[in-house]
Structure 1
Amino acid sequence: MAITTERLRALLGVSDSALLLRGARTEERGGYRLERLTFSNCAGEPIRGLLTRPLKLDGSAPAIVYAHAHGGRYDIGASELIDGRPELLGPLGPVFAHAGFVTLAIDMPTFGERAGETESAAAKRAHWYGKSLFGQMLSDQAGALAYLTTRSDVDARRVGMFGMSMGATLAYWLAAVEPRLAAIAHLCCFADFATLVETGAHDLHGVYLTVPGLLAETSTGEIGGLVAPRPQLICLGEDDALTPPLAIERALQETRAAYANAKAARALEVLTQPGIGHMETQPMREAVLAFLARTLKAG
């Protein structure tokens, strides 16, 4: 029997309490507005947020929850939105702002201004209490989504999510349990986890992604399928060691079947590129911008 959204939410331990805004500073730079935000989550932990938006808005705008990548760069975190990272063509915050989106990125646990605890220590602590670090990350992203929907400059009906690598997994897992996400686009991290274990490729991923008991109940492709019938764009490099071809094929087969069953096959878009590893490419960026404009800006 296929896993339900409710069961997956319980398995992950996702909370949807909104992040509480504690402080904000605004500046203008390069034709867009940057807001430096300070939040606290339901556990009272301080969380840095960075938000980019157009300088001028006529009413409410579509918005994007931006989930940053891992890459072993615990110093980057939410700064990826405005400073980029080596695997990206360049920072997407200004690009999204110029395209008419309000975009929010927050530091995940152990990254950016939350880098005081190691990923290993945070994951072990969560596991010992019967939880997972990834569930905590998803809860904080759900809180960021809830905050965005309260802003007067955001159209709560047109909020999507974007992420690369770790951020990609955060995007489609959160969309699987969070119906308020209208559309998602993600890069470089969609593969069947059981196949990763079979091939040994699972050990290339961080310990943050370990969710006890997950594979006994569901799979990557099934989780991706829970997003249906909402629009989803998946971009992958065929030479990415983190997502071997067989693992990609198995995951996509399940997700495509779920979209077909929901009579929404056209809502699932897939871009795979031969000879490309774990990185963003120009065709990926063009696909993401066109997808988000079509699914969020057009309503």
Structure 2
Amino acid sequence: MNTTALLEIRETVKNLLGVEFQRAKLLPPQIRSTEQRAHGTAKRLNFKTQDGSNIAAILLEPTGANSESPSPAVLYCHAHGARYDIGINELIDGRPALINPYVDDLLALGLVVLCIEMPCFGARAHPEESAASKTALWFGKTLFGQMLAELSAGLDYLSDLSHVDCARIGTLGISMGGTHAWWLAALDTRIKAAAHLCCFADLQSLVKLGNHDNHGHYMTVPGLLATCSSGQLAGLIAPRAQFCGVGLQDWSSPPDAFKIAQDELIKAYENTPTMLSFHIEPDVGHEETPAMRAAVLTFLKRRLIARAL
């Protein structure tokens, strides 16, 4: 697929999402609390949007972070799992799908990390996801678009921090968070590396299997499959770095559906194959394993900590 066609896919998908990314702005946050961790601090923030909405967030800052030697950063995207009560707390407290929280691992790498709470989760639990999704669709928008626009605004905030190296910002997440991590990287070229777990498969194949119905309402994007496949969309990240971790017993990445998306993604990286990496476990379901965690941390070290991007 030529460069023009790829750019057209990116713009078409943005239009399908029904949200103008540049209009989602976060005002300077209020610091609600600061917790000392072994390798830095965890600050709980409250952002206000231009329309007066409140958005909770967590900001991790490693020990020694300063503007003289800016740190690499990660926009951490929290998962779904029908646990609307968890939200951003996943970063500090973990969730059943993770082997343990990411907070200390990411701080130990020297990463500045921002996690912002998505609509329908945590303090934003109302309206519920079904109602929020339907409302957005009736107005020609999508809940997924709102989520991605807010994450892009979070990226604006990270990029503007004096102690962050805006040339070394990545995304990371599992499940819904993983989907957010690679979609945002496909649509926002400021992201230099995307790591996603338990969320990658050919959507048309999932529809045939009926597995698509396990995804939340948030992920409904009318007209998407008439525009591109998962592999083509994730291929927009190329030649930037991308890591994909899956278990083949996962309902969201069954072998045949994953293989189609994987092959398309490999094709997108045919000129820069070393920038794409996979961690595949045949006997694992919708969960992270210790080997996946180790692979993610190795990827982040190589692509964000090192300067060879």
TM-score (norm. length: structure 1):
0.96
Query: Cα distance, 1:14 vs. partner?
Result: 4.5
Query: Cα distance, 1:191 vs. partner?
Result: 0.5
Indicate the residue corresponding to 1:276 in structure 2: 284
Matched residue of 1:27: which SS?
Answer: strand
Provide the C-alpha distance between the structure 1 equivalents of 2:82 and 2:170, rounded to a whole number of angstroms.
Answer: 26
Amino acid at match of 2:279: L
Structure 1 residue 19 and structure 2 residue 1: aligned? Answer: no
Indicate the residue corresponding to 1:211 in structure 2: 221
Matched residue of 1:57: which SS?
Answer: coil
Indicate the residue corresponding to 2:57 in structure 1: 49
Provide the C-alpha distance between the structure 2 equivalents of 1:178 and 1:42, rounded to a whole number of angstroms.
Answer: 21
Alignment size in residue pairs: 297
Structure 1 residue 7 and structure 2 residue 12: aligned? Answer: yes
Query: Cα distance, 1:26 vs. partner?
Result: 2.6
Structure 1 residue runs of 4 or more that deviate by more than 4 Å after TM superposition: none
Query: Cα distance, 1:10 vs. partner?
Result: 2.1
Map residues 113-132 of structure 1 onto 2, 5 A cutoff.
113-132=123-142
* Alignment partner of 2:97 out of 58, 71, 87: 87
Report the aligned-residue RMSD. 1.3
Amino acid at match of 1:266: T
TM-score (norm. length: structure 2):
0.93
- In 2 relative to 1, CA 20–285 (structure 1 residues): closer, same or farther, beyond 3 Å? same
* Alignment partner of 2:107 out of 97, 106, 109: 97
* Alignment partner of 2:162 out of 124, 129, 152: 152
Provide the C-alpha distance between the structure 2 equivalents of 1:41 and 1:228, rounded to a whole number of angstroms.
Answer: 32
Per-residue CA deviations over 1:154-204 (Å, capped at 9, x if unaligned) read 111100000100011111111111010010101000011111101100011
Structure 1 residue 28 and structure 2 residue 17: aligned? Answer: no
Indicate the residue corresponding to 1:290 in structure 2: 298
Matched residue of 1:149: which SS?
Answer: helix
Residue range with higher mean Cα deviation, 225-234 or 16-25: 16-25
Amino acid at match of 1:231: A
CA contact 1:41–1:143 (8 Å) conserved in 2? no
- In 2 relative to 1, CA 270–42 (structure 1 residues): closer, same or farther, beyond 3 Å? farther
Matched residue of 2:98: which SS?
Answer: coil
Query: Cα distance, 1:107 vs. partner?
Result: 0.6
Matched residue of 2:79: which SS?
Answer: coil
CA contact 1:64–1:104 (8 Å) conserved in 2? yes
Amino acid at match of 1:183: A
Identity among equivalent positions (%) equals 46
Q: Structure 1 regions of 5+ residues with no counterpart?
A: none
- In 2 relative to 1, CA 117–57 (structure 1 residues): closer, same or farther, beyond 3 Å? same
